[in-house]
Amino acid sequence: METLVGREAETERMDALVEAARQGRGGALALCGEPGIGKSALLRRLAESASGFLVIQASGAEFETELPFAALHQLCVSLLEHLDELPPPHRRALEIAFGLATGALDPFMVGVGTLGLLAEAARKRPLLCLIDDAHWLDDASAKALAFVSRRIADEPVAVVFATREPGFGTLPGLNLGGLRESEARALLAGAVRAPLDERVRDRILAESRGNPLALLELPRSAGLAGMAGGFDLPAPSVVEQSFRVRLAQLPPQARLLLTVAAADPVGDPGLLWRAAELLGIEHASAAEAAELVDFGARIRFSHPLARSAAYTAAPPEERRRAHAALAEATDAVADPDRQAWHRAHAAVGPDEEVAAALERSAARAQARGGVAAAAAFLERAAALTPGSGPRIERVLAAAEAKLSAGVFDIAAELLTTAGTASPDRAQQARIDLLRGRLSFVRHRGDERPTAYLLRAADRLADTDPAWSRECYLDAMEIGVLIGDLDPVVQAARTAGSKDPVLECMIRLTTQGHRAAADLLRPILADEAGWSSRPSLGFMLAAELWTYGALRGIAERVTAAGRESGSFHMLPIGLAMQATAAAHAGEFGAAMEMISEEEAIAEATGAAPLVYPRIHLAALRGRRAEAFELFANVDSRMTLSVQWAAAVLHNGLGNYQAALEAARTAVAHEHLGMSGLALPELAEAAVRCGKPDVAESAMADLRERTQAGGDAWGLGVAAYARALVTGDEEAYREAIDHLDGSRVAIYRARAHLLYGEWLRRQGRRREARERLRVAHEALTDIGAEAFAERAAGELRATGEHARSRSSQTAERLTMQEVHIARLVADGATSKEVAATLFLSPRTVDAHLRNIFRKLGLTSRKQLRDLPDIRG
């Protein structure tokens, strides 16, 4: 076993990780530190010390970041015998990702497929995964491995990354600093056996700053004579220079062989020697280079920095020769992407044939979920494209791919490049569209995304009217989301577009809801038509209080997302469905959908959508939970938070706070959120003695709900009118309308408001009946604040409210609720694991927790719980 000087705390931490995995408690760790600090040495020592473990390894490479799943395949190649043990969707996802099959890749399945593969391999003995140079992992592999690392808590699997970047994702980190002076002296003494001039030794210690690789390599590369003469030592930040010195001492053929080995990090000896033969390199060169590279069953450099040095120290022409030989040696049928990649690096100037091959590679990478890889292929293809027009097209395609991959700075640079290359009118419109999207996702306050989209619409008005209308609609949706709708409406109105959605939005914002009603109803009824702009349709449905459209659009978007495997559309659909379920009082279903959306976000590395959680927290009425959530949301969610605070405070009876929050939400005239806040404003204003405010809110609400004509809106408007006017018939009208809708929580609130009014009229017996209905309904739903308010009103009538039994779902986390509901519906552990991107062992662990919390012993008992099945 390799003996390390110092590093006792680090080895203890890593040994504890391995020992926990041996006991079935998996985990991951990221070793972070500068080049040469000892990360690779710690990985080697861990591999040697992990007795009884199956050890698999991979290494990121600077020259391979364009190839999707390259590092993941490198790590898992020895485990592929277990592929047949995986469920078919997981097996196929990995086969496509690893190039063993063709087809469209489900981006959600690669991570869970990898998790399943590691779990199957770990059935016989625990598994240790070591990933060196993780900062050079291709994006697709990095996301899959980060996902796996967050999901192995119940598996006998340990994963350790070595990276220069602090904090690999959200994994626990272990930062490596330099050795202490006593440790550095001991390491140097072991490396240099001969007597060493004290001043030279002190200089080495001072300039190496405890960097172990500098302490080991500098004496070897400089030699004792050089050090004794005061050799000018490189700093640890450029410790790679020591490897360059050693490379310079090798014969030309050995150096060229190392360049070829460094240029293809797969480590396939067959490929290496085929390329070497094409270059006329003799096998004897391997012996001369053996100190830096192990030419065994797999080509391995002695240290990642040795690979980097071998490649970067070679002259450009020599690197091109190496890539050209590797391209010729690569099987064009079995590995077309790697061949195209080598051909691109061998090119000396524009080459349409190579650019076209890279474009095809980009399409394959995109289909396999490698968005970042597709962007890299397209960027290189653009650089090699000879003609100006085609080059701009490829630059724009690369910019769009970089934007989708979240590489915003490079996307902006590419758009600048395209903008200065004399684009035609259509290309300039695409530039504007992409700049608008980029401005929106970067959240820069000094830019208006809608301005770019409107400029694109104007450019296309004469040449492509259909595309121009699409640009206006895109601007409309973004304008709604960021509160910049008026300029969009004005521009669309001036342009005279005949698109029904645009015309509807123009009427809505300039003439009011009644004027737009005839256009709005059929548009909202076409739920399938909103799949391309779900946010706009969803907010219009909320604006008009049409629950059928609200839920229908959400369900259509979710179904389309599931069918396409879109990691963009499906989370949006699930978040919308969760919000709709929350407003229906179906809190268990809402929690289930939020859990699935969060699982997808974690699987893809995206941030979970927070607005369904805001709606659920407000309607559930849990003050501490809600305010913790409100305090940690993005500034763009301000109006959602204000609406939620108004609902929460009305439930708690804090009417002054509710009034202030609702006023803020309504004042901004935000499509959807302002409309939802109107009944909260009316109620709070009545309780606070602000009749003018209440009447204005009631009138605005009535205009919206009459335009929508839905039972949800008509019922809510009726109880707002009853609150303001004291008209008893309006309370009954509200209940009649809401009895015909799915929105149980609003129906219960109508009974509560009517019961409160009856009590204040001195009609205690009638009040008691209404309040009893409200309390029982709100209790069953789990709307705690409103239920407690109803209980207090009941006590005021002289009746003691029944004690509230602890609801099943409230004792479980959101993920546990989702698992419980799936199992109650008959899903197996493997089927639940596939849905939530967990391992079956983790699902079983969650089930044990669920059984413990609910006092159950079997799945059958879980199926018999009505509030789980409902």
Look up residue 817 and give its two tokens: 């609720």
Helix (H) or strand (E) holding 421: none
Of the candidates 435, 504, 496, 500, the residue with the CA atom closest to the CA atom of residue 461: 496
Residue 107 has pLDDT above 70, yes or no: no
* Domain-located, residue 843: yes
Residue that has been written with the tokens 């207090």 in this structure: 792
Q: Judge if 170 and 185 occupy the same domain.
A: no
Within this chain, do residues 162 and 104 fall inside the same structural domain, yes or no?
A: yes
- Model confidence at 190: pLDDT above 90: no
The reply to whether 201 and 271 lie within a common domain is no
Listed residues 238, 260, 281: the one ending a domain: 238
Residue at which a domain ends, from 309, 340, 371: 340
Establish if 381 belongs to a structural domain.
Answer: no
Tell me if 659 sits within 8 A of 684, measured CB to CB. Answer: yes
Pairing relationship of beta strands 293-295 and 299-301 according to DSSP bridges: antiparallel
For 513-549, the DSSP string reads: HHHHHHHHHHHHH-GGGGSSSHHHHHHHHHHTT-HHH
What separation in angstroms does the CA of 385 have from each of 345, 356, 358, 363, 395?
Answer: 14, 8, 10, 17, 10
pLDDT number for residue 720: 97
Read off the pLDDT of each residue in 270-298 and give the average, rounded to a whole number: 86
**3-state DSSP: the chain helix, strand, coil percent, rounded to 5?**
70, 5, 25
Whole-number pLDDT of residue 771: 95
Distance CA 362, CA 400 (A): 12
Residue 233 has a pLDDT of: 41
Residue 640 falls inside a structural domain: no
3-state secondary structure of 818: helix
Per-residue model confidence (pLDDT) at position 237: 42
390 in a structural domain: no
Q: Which two tokens stand for residue 686?
A: 């009545």
Q: Which 3 state secondary structure label does DSSP give 27?
A: strand
Round to whole Å and give the CA distance between 105 and 144.
Answer: 13
For residue 752, give its domain range. Answer: 710-805
Q: Is the pLDDT of residue 2 over 80?
A: no
More confident residue, 489 or 302: 489
94/47 Cα distance (integer angstroms):
26
Are 162 and 284 contained in the same domain?
no
Over residues 77-106, the mean pLDDT reads 86
Q: Which of 699, 681, 700 is nearest to 690 (CA)?
A: 681
C-alpha dihedral sign at 832, 835, 840, 845: negative
Most confident of 289-293, 498-502, 628-632, 783-787: 783-787
Asked if residue 180 has pLDDT above 50, the reply is yes
- Looking from the CA of 370 toward its CB, the CA atoms found within 13 Å total 33
| 37 and 117 share one domain | yes
Which residue in this structure is represented by tokens 């700093």? 235
| Sheet containing strand 157-163, strands side by side | 54-59, 127-132, 157-163, 27-32, 173-175
| Per-residue pLDDT, 524 | 83
pLDDT tens for 16-72 read 999 999 999 999 999 998 888 888 889 999 999 999 999 999 988 776 676 788 899
Contact 243, 309 (CB under 8 A): yes
Rounded average pLDDT over 275-293: 86
Nearest Cα to Cα of residue 288 among 328, 321, 255, 334? 255
29 and 159 housed in the same domain:
yes
Q: What are phi and psi of 233, to 5 degrees?
A: -80, 135
For residues 529-547, give the mean pLDDT: 87
Burial zone of 353 (CB within 10 Å; 0-12 exposed, 13-18 middle, 19+ buried): exposed
Please check the confidence at residue 566 and state whether its pLDDT lies above 80.
no
CATH code of the domain containing 850: 1.10.10.10
**What's the pLDDT score for residue 243?**
79
Same domain, 779 and 815: no
Q: DSSP character for 108?
A: T
Q: Which pLDDT value is given to residue 370? A: 65
Largest CA-CA distance found in the chain, in angstroms, rounded: 106
Residues 87 and 156 in one domain: yes
pLDDT one-digit tens code per residue, 48-64: 999 999 999 998 877 66
Whether residue 423 lies inside any domain: the answer is no
Residue 206's pLDDT band (cuts 50, 70, 90): low
> Is 368 a residue whose pLDDT tops 60?
yes
Q: What is the pLDDT of residue 717?
A: 97
In the prediction, which pLDDT does 9 show? 86
- CB-facing half-sphere around the CA of 175: CA atoms within 13 A: 4
* C-alpha torsion 493→494→495→497, nearest 10: 20
Model pLDDT for residues 676-704, shown as the tens digit of each residue: 999 999 999 999 999 999 999 999 999 99
Radius of gyration over alpha carbons of the chain, in Å?
Answer: 32
> Dihedral sign, CA of 450, 456, 460, 465?
negative
Output b/e per residue, 599-620; b: 16+ Cβ within 10 A: bbbbbbbeeebbbbbbbbbbbb
Three-state DSSP class for residue 573: helix
Residue with tokens 């609400």: 701
Q: 258 and 234 in one domain?
A: no
What's the pLDDT tens digit per position in 715-756? 999 999 999 999 999 999 999 999 978 999 999 999 999 999
Q: What is the pLDDT of residue 635?
A: 63
Q: What percent of the chain has pLDDT over 90?
A: 40
For residue 147, what is the domain's CATH number? 3.40.50.300
User: Average pLDDT, stretch 591-596?
Assistant: 89
Question: What average pLDDT is seen over the chain?
Answer: 85
- What does each C-alpha distance from 685 to 237, 656, 734, 753, 790 come to in angstroms? 65, 8, 19, 14, 19
Task: List the structure tokens of 514.
Answer: 């009644």
Six token digits for residue 468: 């121009």
Q: What is the pLDDT of residue 3?
A: 66
Q: How far is it, in rounded angstroms, from Cα 384 to Cα 379?
A: 9
Q: Residue 256: which of 303, 298, 317 has the closest Cα?
A: 317
Same domain, 50 and 131: yes
Would strands 173-175 and 27-32 be described as parallel, antiparallel, or unpaired? Answer: parallel
**Residue 441 half-sphere exposure toward CB, CA atoms < 13 A:** 18
Angstrom CA distances, 203 to 197, 206, 220, 236, 477, stand at 10, 5, 16, 13, 64
Amino acid 78: pLDDT: 92
The Cα 637–Cα 84 span in angstroms is: 46
Q: How far apart are CA 378 and CA 394, in angstroms?
A: 6
Q: What is the pLDDT of residue 239?
A: 60
| pLDDT of 663 | 95
pLDDT at position 400 is 87
Amino acid at 353: E
Average pLDDT of the residues in 443-449:
69
pLDDT of residue 803: 61
Q: Is the pLDDT reported for residue 224 higher than 60?
A: no
Position 235 pLDDT exceeds 50: no
What local confidence, expressed as pLDDT, does residue 856 receive? 85
DSSP string, 150-202: TS-TTSSEEEEEEESSSS-TTS-EEE--PPPHHHHHHHHHHH--S---HHHHH
Confidence of residue 499 (pLDDT cuts 50, 70, 90): confident
Residue where a domain terminates, one of 787, 805, 823? 805
Do 258 and 163 reside in the same domain of the chain? no
Classified as helix, coil or strand, 482 is: helix
Please tell me whether residues 162 and 290 are part of one structural domain.
no
Tell me whether residue 620 is in a domain.
Answer: no
State the pLDDT confidence band at 824, using cuts at 50, 70 and 90: confident
The structure tokens listed for 855 are 């006092």
Distance CA 565, CA 498 (A): 33
**Which amino acid, residue 300?**
R
Local structure of 647: helix, strand or coil:
helix
SS3 130: strand
Cβ atoms of 788 and 800 closer than 8 Å: no
In-domain check, residue 748: yes
pLDDT at residue number 567? 67
Candidate from 12-16, 86-90, 356-360, 728-732 with smallest mean pLDDT = 86-90
Count up the domains in the chain and report the number: 7
CA angle (712 as vertex; 706, 714 as ends), nearest 5: 35
Please report the pLDDT score of residue 17 as a whole number: 95
In a domain, 92, yes or no: yes
Tokens found for residue 832:
């639940």
